[in-house]
């Protein structure tokens, strides 16, 4: 797969405790992205954050949270990202989904 130039960055904000089909929601989302042949995805675990509930989630030793912020990022062509969003959106009960136009400079693998 080759991507260069205009693409979309899909960013999904959820909580670490969120589940879908008995597994972590972030894992379910990445599986959906992979099944749809999205170019790549990364799951990032936050150390501090809050969302619509305004409740702060932190990884501080003094305030251990079991529901840290999770961000899933995926990049691909606009048509592929737009096609996969309806498959992911029903699983997001509490969260945020954003899209940004990006310019892919290089996308490669050594294998």
- 5-97: CATH, from 3.40.47.40, 3.40.50.800, 3.30.70.120, 1.10.730.10: 3.30.70.120
pTM of the model: 0.86
Q: Which of 5, 29, 2 is nearest to 18 (CA)?
A: 29
pLDDT of residue 96: 96
CA-CA distance, 32 to 34, in Å (whole number)? 5
Residues of the chain with pLDDT under 70: 1, 53-66, 111
CA angle 69, 54, 75 (to 5 degrees): 35
pLDDT of residue 65: 57
pLDDT of residue 46: 87
Beta strand pairing status for 69-76 and 57-58? unpaired
């Amino acid at each position: 797969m080759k991507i260069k130039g205009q693409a979309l960055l899909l960013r999904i904000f959820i909580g670490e405790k969120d589940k879908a089909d008995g597994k972590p929601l972030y894992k379910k989302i990445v599986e959906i992205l992979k099944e749809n042949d999205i170019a790549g995805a990364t799951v990032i675990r936050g150390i501090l954050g809050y969302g619509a509930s305004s409740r702060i989630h932190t990884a501080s030793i003094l305030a251990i949270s079991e529901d840290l912020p999770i961000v899933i990022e995926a990049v691909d062509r606009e048509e592929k990202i737009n096609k996969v969003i309806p498959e992911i959106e029903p699983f997001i009960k509490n969260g945020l989904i954003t899209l940004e136009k990006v310019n892919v400079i290089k996308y490669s693998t050594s294998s």
